[in-house]
Protein backbone atom coordinates (compact mmCIF):
# COMPACT_ATOMS: atom_id res chain seq x y z
CA UNK A 1 0.00 0.00 0.00
CA UNK A 2 1.30 3.43 -0.85
CA UNK A 3 2.20 5.76 1.99
CA UNK A 4 1.03 8.69 -0.01
CA UNK A 5 -2.67 9.41 0.40
CA UNK A 6 -4.04 11.25 -2.55
CA UNK A 7 -7.12 13.18 -1.51
CA UNK A 8 -9.71 12.17 -4.02
CA UNK A 9 -12.57 14.40 -5.07
CA UNK A 10 -15.66 13.56 -2.99
CA UNK A 11 -18.46 11.53 -4.54
CA UNK A 12 -21.98 12.70 -5.23
CA UNK A 13 -23.26 11.82 -1.75
CA UNK A 14 -20.28 13.38 0.05
CA UNK A 15 -20.45 16.56 -2.02
CA UNK A 16 -24.18 16.88 -1.47
CA UNK A 17 -23.79 16.38 2.27
CA UNK A 18 -21.08 19.02 2.39
CA UNK A 19 -23.28 21.41 0.39
CA UNK A 20 -26.27 20.83 2.65
CA UNK A 21 -24.16 21.38 5.74
CA UNK A 22 -22.88 24.69 4.37
CA UNK A 23 -26.41 25.75 3.47
CA UNK A 24 -27.60 25.07 7.04
CA UNK A 25 -24.67 27.01 8.45
CA UNK A 26 -25.53 29.92 6.12
CA UNK A 27 -29.15 29.85 7.27
CA UNK A 28 -28.03 30.06 10.90
CA UNK A 29 -25.41 32.74 10.15
CA UNK A 30 -28.09 35.38 9.57
CA UNK A 31 -29.42 35.04 13.15
CA UNK A 32 -25.87 35.25 14.55
CA UNK A 33 -25.00 38.31 12.46
CA UNK A 34 -28.21 40.04 13.63
CA UNK A 35 -27.01 39.86 17.24
CA UNK A 36 -23.62 41.51 16.50
CA UNK A 37 -22.77 45.10 17.32
CA UNK A 38 -23.04 47.36 14.28
CA UNK A 39 -24.72 50.45 12.92
CA UNK A 40 -27.89 48.86 11.54
CA UNK A 41 -28.20 46.34 14.41
CA UNK A 42 -28.73 49.27 16.79
CA UNK A 43 -31.69 50.66 14.89
CA UNK A 44 -35.36 49.88 15.52
CA UNK A 45 -36.51 47.16 13.05
CA UNK A 46 -39.36 49.40 11.82
CA UNK A 47 -36.86 52.10 10.81
CA UNK A 48 -34.77 49.54 8.92
CA UNK A 49 -37.78 48.01 7.13
CA UNK A 50 -39.19 51.43 6.15
CA UNK A 51 -35.81 52.99 5.28
CA UNK A 52 -34.34 50.11 3.28
CA UNK A 53 -37.59 49.51 1.38
CA UNK A 54 -37.70 53.23 0.53
CA UNK A 55 -34.17 52.96 -0.90
CA UNK A 56 -35.20 49.88 -2.93
CA UNK A 57 -38.09 51.94 -4.31
CA UNK A 58 -35.69 54.78 -5.18
CA UNK A 59 -33.37 52.34 -7.00
CA UNK A 60 -36.32 50.86 -8.90
CA UNK A 61 -37.63 54.26 -9.98
CA UNK A 62 -34.28 55.78 -10.93
CA UNK A 63 -33.57 56.38 -14.62
CA UNK A 64 -29.89 57.22 -13.99
CA UNK A 65 -27.29 54.49 -13.74
CA UNK A 66 -24.87 56.56 -11.64
CA UNK A 67 -27.58 57.09 -9.02
CA UNK A 68 -28.32 53.36 -8.67
CA UNK A 69 -24.56 52.77 -8.44
CA UNK A 70 -24.31 55.45 -5.72
CA UNK A 71 -27.17 53.77 -3.77
CA UNK A 72 -25.34 50.44 -4.09
CA UNK A 73 -22.09 51.94 -2.78
CA UNK A 74 -23.91 53.62 0.13
CA UNK A 75 -25.59 50.30 1.01
CA UNK A 76 -22.27 48.45 0.95
CA UNK A 77 -20.80 51.09 3.27
CA UNK A 78 -23.77 50.65 5.64
CA UNK A 79 -23.34 46.87 5.55
CA UNK A 80 -19.61 47.09 6.25
CA UNK A 81 -20.12 49.25 9.36
CA UNK A 82 -22.80 46.76 10.43
CA UNK A 83 -20.24 43.91 10.64
CA UNK A 84 -21.28 42.21 7.38
CA UNK A 85 -18.05 41.26 5.57
CA UNK A 86 -17.66 42.13 1.87
CA UNK A 87 -17.21 38.44 0.92
CA UNK A 88 -20.62 37.64 2.46
CA UNK A 89 -22.23 40.47 0.44
CA UNK A 90 -20.51 39.29 -2.74
CA UNK A 91 -21.31 35.61 -2.26
CA UNK A 92 -24.87 35.86 -0.96
CA UNK A 93 -26.27 38.94 -2.68
CA UNK A 94 -24.23 39.95 -5.71
CA UNK A 95 -23.54 36.54 -7.21
CA UNK A 96 -27.15 35.33 -7.12
CA UNK A 97 -28.58 38.67 -8.28
CA UNK A 98 -26.03 38.84 -11.11
CA UNK A 99 -26.74 35.32 -12.35
CA UNK A 100 -30.54 35.66 -12.31
CA UNK A 101 -30.83 39.24 -13.58
CA UNK A 102 -27.96 38.61 -16.02
CA UNK A 103 -29.85 35.69 -17.57
CA UNK A 104 -32.92 37.87 -18.04
CA UNK A 105 -30.92 40.88 -19.26
CA UNK A 106 -28.66 39.08 -21.77
CA UNK A 107 -31.17 39.07 -24.69
CA UNK A 108 -31.54 42.86 -24.30
CA UNK A 109 -27.85 43.23 -25.28
CA UNK A 110 -28.59 41.80 -28.72
CA UNK A 111 -32.23 42.68 -29.29
CA UNK A 112 -32.37 46.36 -28.26
CA UNK A 113 -32.14 48.54 -31.38
CA UNK A 114 -29.38 51.18 -31.40
CA UNK A 115 -25.74 51.90 -32.11
CA UNK A 116 -23.50 48.85 -32.49
CA UNK A 117 -20.70 48.70 -29.93
CA UNK A 118 -17.15 48.24 -31.28
CA UNK A 119 -18.48 46.23 -34.22
CA UNK A 120 -19.96 43.60 -31.88
CA UNK A 121 -23.51 42.27 -32.31
CA UNK A 122 -24.55 44.20 -29.17
CA UNK A 123 -25.82 47.78 -28.97
CA UNK A 124 -24.99 50.65 -26.63
CA UNK A 125 -28.67 50.94 -25.76
CA UNK A 126 -28.79 47.20 -25.07
CA UNK A 127 -25.86 47.46 -22.64
CA UNK A 128 -27.59 50.37 -20.93
CA UNK A 129 -30.88 48.46 -20.59
CA UNK A 130 -29.12 45.34 -19.28
CA UNK A 131 -27.02 47.54 -16.94
CA UNK A 132 -30.17 49.04 -15.42
CA UNK A 133 -31.70 45.64 -14.77
CA UNK A 134 -28.56 44.11 -13.27
CA UNK A 135 -27.66 47.15 -11.18
CA UNK A 136 -31.19 47.54 -9.80
CA UNK A 137 -31.23 43.84 -8.88
CA UNK A 138 -27.80 44.15 -7.22
CA UNK A 139 -28.86 47.24 -5.24
CA UNK A 140 -32.14 45.63 -4.11
CA UNK A 141 -30.44 42.34 -3.14
CA UNK A 142 -27.76 44.21 -1.14
CA UNK A 143 -30.38 46.31 0.66
CA UNK A 144 -32.39 43.19 1.55
CA UNK A 145 -29.25 41.40 2.74
CA UNK A 146 -28.43 44.38 4.94
CA UNK A 147 -31.92 44.12 6.45
CA UNK A 148 -32.03 40.38 7.15
CA UNK A 149 -28.42 40.14 8.36
CA UNK A 150 -28.89 42.91 10.91
CA UNK A 151 -32.40 42.09 12.15
CA UNK A 152 -33.68 38.89 13.78
CA UNK A 153 -36.12 37.27 11.33
CA UNK A 154 -39.07 37.43 13.77
CA UNK A 155 -38.46 41.18 14.20
CA UNK A 156 -38.62 41.65 10.42
CA UNK A 157 -41.96 39.81 10.36
CA UNK A 158 -43.35 41.83 13.27
CA UNK A 159 -42.26 45.09 11.60
CA UNK A 160 -44.02 44.02 8.39
CA UNK A 161 -47.24 43.47 10.37
CA UNK A 162 -46.87 46.95 11.92
CA UNK A 163 -46.81 48.30 8.35
CA UNK A 164 -50.11 46.47 7.72
CA UNK A 165 -48.65 43.79 5.49
CA UNK A 166 -51.45 41.16 5.38
CA UNK A 167 -51.27 38.32 7.93
CA UNK A 168 -51.30 35.66 5.21
CA UNK A 169 -48.23 37.17 3.55
CA UNK A 170 -46.31 37.35 6.83
CA UNK A 171 -47.30 33.76 7.76
CA UNK A 172 -46.16 32.53 4.33
CA UNK A 173 -42.82 34.34 4.75
CA UNK A 174 -42.33 32.86 8.22
CA UNK A 175 -43.30 29.35 7.13
CA UNK A 176 -41.08 29.58 4.03
CA UNK A 177 -38.08 30.30 6.22
CA UNK A 178 -38.95 27.36 8.47
CA UNK A 179 -39.65 25.17 5.40
CA UNK A 180 -36.20 25.84 3.95
CA UNK A 181 -34.53 24.84 7.21
CA UNK A 182 -36.63 21.67 7.42
CA UNK A 183 -35.85 20.87 3.79
CA UNK A 184 -32.13 21.18 4.47
CA UNK A 185 -32.31 19.12 7.67
CA UNK A 186 -34.37 16.37 6.02
CA UNK A 187 -32.10 16.29 2.96
CA UNK A 188 -29.05 16.08 5.23
CA UNK A 189 -30.52 13.12 7.12
CA UNK A 190 -31.52 11.37 3.88
CA UNK A 191 -28.06 11.70 2.40
CA UNK A 192 -26.37 10.60 5.64
CA UNK A 193 -28.58 7.52 5.64
CA UNK A 194 -27.69 6.86 1.98
CA UNK A 195 -24.00 7.30 2.71
CA UNK A 196 -24.19 4.78 5.56
CA UNK A 197 -25.51 2.18 3.10
CA UNK A 198 -23.17 2.96 0.21
CA UNK A 199 -20.04 0.81 -0.08
CA UNK A 200 -18.92 0.88 -3.72
CA UNK A 201 -18.61 3.86 -5.99
CA UNK A 202 -21.80 4.76 -7.87
CA UNK A 203 -21.89 5.46 -11.59
CA UNK A 204 -22.87 8.93 -12.81
CA UNK A 205 -26.12 7.56 -14.29
CA UNK A 206 -27.07 5.91 -10.99
CA UNK A 207 -26.21 9.10 -9.13
CA UNK A 208 -28.61 11.05 -11.36
CA UNK A 209 -31.33 8.43 -10.82
CA UNK A 210 -30.77 8.61 -7.06
CA UNK A 211 -30.96 12.40 -7.09
CA UNK A 212 -34.25 12.43 -9.03
CA UNK A 213 -35.87 9.75 -6.86
CA UNK A 214 -34.58 11.41 -3.68
CA UNK A 215 -35.82 14.90 -4.55
CA UNK A 216 -39.42 13.69 -4.88
CA UNK A 217 -39.31 11.91 -1.53
CA UNK A 218 -37.59 14.90 0.04
CA UNK A 219 -40.29 17.34 -1.06
CA UNK A 220 -43.04 15.05 0.21
CA UNK A 221 -41.35 14.53 3.59
CA UNK A 222 -40.64 18.23 4.04
CA UNK A 223 -44.19 19.23 3.16
CA UNK A 224 -45.49 16.78 5.76
CA UNK A 225 -43.08 18.12 8.40
CA UNK A 226 -43.98 21.68 7.51
CA UNK A 227 -47.69 20.91 7.97
CA UNK A 228 -46.89 19.43 11.37
CA UNK A 229 -44.97 22.57 12.38
CA UNK A 230 -47.95 24.72 11.44
CA UNK A 231 -50.28 22.49 13.49
CA UNK A 232 -47.88 22.75 16.45
CA UNK A 233 -47.96 26.54 16.13
CA UNK A 234 -51.77 26.54 15.99
CA UNK A 235 -51.93 24.24 19.03
CA UNK A 236 -50.12 26.94 21.03
CA UNK A 237 -52.54 29.66 19.97
CA UNK A 238 -50.90 31.00 16.78
CA UNK A 239 -53.45 33.04 14.82
CA UNK A 240 -51.13 34.72 12.31
CA UNK A 241 -50.00 37.64 14.46
CA UNK A 242 -46.29 37.85 15.33
CA UNK A 243 -46.00 38.37 19.09
CA UNK A 244 -42.56 39.02 20.61
CA UNK A 245 -41.16 39.62 24.06
CA UNK A 246 -39.04 42.51 22.79
CA UNK A 247 -40.86 45.82 22.55
CA UNK A 248 -39.93 48.08 19.66
CA UNK A 249 -38.99 51.47 21.07
CA UNK A 250 -38.05 54.53 18.99
CA UNK A 251 -35.09 56.43 20.45
CA UNK A 252 -33.58 59.69 19.25
CA UNK A 253 -31.07 57.80 17.08
CA UNK A 254 -33.96 55.89 15.42
CA UNK A 255 -35.82 59.11 14.59
CA UNK A 256 -32.61 60.58 13.17
CA UNK A 257 -31.97 57.45 11.09
CA UNK A 258 -35.57 57.50 9.85
CA UNK A 259 -35.12 61.13 8.82
CA UNK A 260 -31.85 60.35 7.00
CA UNK A 261 -33.44 57.39 5.16
CA UNK A 262 -36.47 59.53 4.19
CA UNK A 263 -34.33 62.42 2.92
CA UNK A 264 -31.95 60.06 1.06
CA UNK A 265 -34.79 58.15 -0.60
CA UNK A 266 -36.68 61.35 -1.53
CA UNK A 267 -33.51 62.95 -2.92
CA UNK A 268 -32.68 59.80 -4.90
CA UNK A 269 -36.19 59.62 -6.35
CA UNK A 270 -36.05 63.34 -7.29
CA UNK A 271 -32.53 63.14 -8.78
CA UNK A 272 -33.29 59.89 -10.59
CA UNK A 273 -36.33 61.22 -12.51
Partner 1 sequence: MLFDLDRLTYRYEGVPAVDNLSLRIPEGSRVALLGANGSGKSTLLRLLGGLIFAQSGEILFRGEELSEVHLTDDSWAFPFRRSVGMVFQNPDVQLFNPTVFDEVAFGPLQMRWPKGQVRDAVGEILNQLRIGHLKDRVPHRLSGGEKKRVALASVLVLDPAVLLLDEPTAALDPRSQSEVIDLLVEWGGGAKSVITATHDLGDLEDIADHCFVLDSGQLVAEGRPQEILANTELLERTNLIHAHRHGHGSGRLHSHAHVHKDGA
Among 19, 96, 152, 214, binds partner 1 (CB under 8 A): 152
Closest approach of Cβ 90 to partner 1, in Å?
26
Closest to partner 1 by CB, 9 vs 249, is 249
Closest to partner 1 by CB, 3 vs 247, is 247
Closest approach of Cβ 229 to partner 1, in Å?
5
Closest approach of Cβ 149 to partner 1, in Å?
14
* Under rule CB under 8 A, residue 69 binds partner 1: no
Closest approach of Cβ 110 to partner 1, in Å?
47
Closest to partner 1 by CB, 28 vs 266, is 28
Closest to partner 1 by CB, 28 vs 250, is 28
Closest to partner 1 by CB, 86 vs 219, is 219
Closest approach of Cβ 88 to partner 1, in Å?
19
* Under rule CB under 8 A, residue 238 binds partner 1: yes
Instruction: Give the CA distances from residue 67 to residues 61, 63, 140, 273, in Å, rounded to whole numbers and listed in that order.
Output: 10, 8, 13, 10
Closest approach of Cβ 227 to partner 1, in Å?
9
* Under rule CB under 8 A, residue 249 binds partner 1: no
Under the rule (CB under 8 A), what is the footprint of partner 1?
Answer: 28, 31, 152-154, 178, 181, 185, 225, 228-229, 231-239, 241, 243-245, 247
Amino acid sequence: MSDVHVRSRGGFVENTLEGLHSAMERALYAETAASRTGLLQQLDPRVKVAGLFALILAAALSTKLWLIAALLVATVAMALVSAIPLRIIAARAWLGAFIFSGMIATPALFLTPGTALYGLPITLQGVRTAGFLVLRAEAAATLMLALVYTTPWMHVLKALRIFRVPVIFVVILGMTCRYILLLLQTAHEMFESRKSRTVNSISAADQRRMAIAGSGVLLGKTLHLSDEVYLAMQARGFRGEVCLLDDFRMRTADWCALGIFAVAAAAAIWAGR
